[in-house]
Structure 1
Amino acid sequence: MPQKLPLSTLIELAQNRTDAATRALGQLQSAHNSATETLDMLLQYRQEYLDQMATLMRDGMASSELHNFQGFIGTLDNAIEQQRALTQQADTRLAHGRGDWQDNKRRLNSFDTLADRRSQQNVVALNKREQRDSDEHTSRQFYQRSQQQAG
């Protein structure tokens, strides 16, 4: 079994970490979207409830009914504030997840760049060896011809 080069191992580890960070970022993005959608839904529901209350107040409503509406709106306001806190936490986690993914991607790109440089160096060295071998072969042929002509 051929032994892996240390750089290949580092690239593989960096790729695995980047893949894991990508999956985590996707989950964080999904959680963020869900929290934002829930907040938007609560805000919309609150506005609809306020609109309904305004319509009923124009038509006349009992004070007990108004009190119930106000109590429910207070409950909605509490739920909205809790959801805003959850959304802010999701924002923070998402920002950290993006930073983690960027760090991992940058590390992977660095290792890939090193591997490309090493590959280019190997190609240059191989070309030099081939040129040297070709030069030596040509020199031997020239020497052999000059020996044959002299002898």
Structure 2
Amino acid sequence: MAKKDPLLTVLKLTSEAEEQAALQLKSAQLAFQKCQSQLEALRNYRLDYMKQMESHHGKTISASYYHQFHQFVRQVDEAITKQLTSVADADTQRVHRQEYWQEKQQKRKAVELLLEHKAQKARQEELKLEQKMADEFASQQFYRKRRQR
């Protein structure tokens, strides 16, 4: 029975680690996109609200309505500021996960390269052995023919 190469186990482990890192990256990318979408929604909401107020331009509005409008816009602006922080945090996390995935990918490729070099070396050794056996067989035939004469 052929001995199992320990590098195959290492390859399996590095491949699994890379897959996990890829899943974490995908999750971080989705979280980043969600944060960006929420930010865009808040900005659109603020814009719509401003347009709504603009439609009252030239009309008489009460001081309390005007005060409530500004207070609400201030709250939306605060929410946008918080969401900008969330987007930045999510982007940082996404970049970190991408670097982590690339690191795992490099490790897997390094193990694959080691296995390929090892296999190539084994093939070369096998070819040398075959050539040696062929040379030995040829020389034995040569000596047999010489003896028969």
TM-score, with normalisation over the residues of structure 2?
Answer: 0.95
Task: After superposition, give the CA deviation of every residue in 1:102-149 in whole Å (9 maximum; x if it has no partner).
Answer: 100011111111111111111111111111111111111111111111
1:109 is matched with: 109
1:93 is matched with: 93
C-alpha distance in 1 between matches for 2:37 and 2:112: 39
Task: After superposition, give the CA deviation of every residue in 1:5-41 in whole Å (9 maximum; x if it has no partner).
Answer: 1211111111010000001001010111001100011
1:133 is matched with: 133
1:25 is matched with: 25
C-alpha distance in 1 between matches for 2:92 and 2:65: 40
Aligned ranges 1:54-65 → 2 under 5 Å: 54-65=54-65
Q: Cα distance, 1:67 vs. partner? A: 1.2
When the two structures are aligned, how many residues end up with a matched partner? Answer: 149
CA RMSD of aligned residues (A): 1.3
Q: Cα distance, 1:3 vs. partner? A: 4.7
C-alpha distance in 2 between matches for 1:148 and 1:9: 56
Q: Cα distance, 1:63 vs. partner? A: 1.9
Q: Cα distance, 1:4 vs. partner? A: 2.8
Q: Cα distance, 1:59 vs. partner? A: 3.2
Q: Is the partner of 1:22 in helix, strand or coil?
A: helix
TM-score, with normalisation over the residues of structure 1?
Answer: 0.93
Amino acid at match of 1:111: V
Amino acid at match of 1:134: A
Distance 1:2 1:49, change over 3 A: farther
Identity over aligned pairs, percent: 29
Establish whether residue 148 from structure 1 lines up as the match of residue 145 from structure 2.
Answer: no
C-alpha distance in 1 between matches for 2:2 and 2:146: 47
Structure 1 alignment gaps of length 5 or more = none
Q: Is the partner of 1:52 in helix, strand or coil?
A: helix
Structure 2 alignment gaps of length 5 or more = none
Distance 1:80 1:110, change over 3 A: same
Q: Cα distance, 1:64 vs. partner? A: 1.7
Q: Cα distance, 1:2 vs. partner? A: 5.8
Which is worse superposed, 95-104 or 54-63? 54-63
C-alpha distance in 1 between matches for 2:82 and 2:69: 20
2:71 is matched with: 71
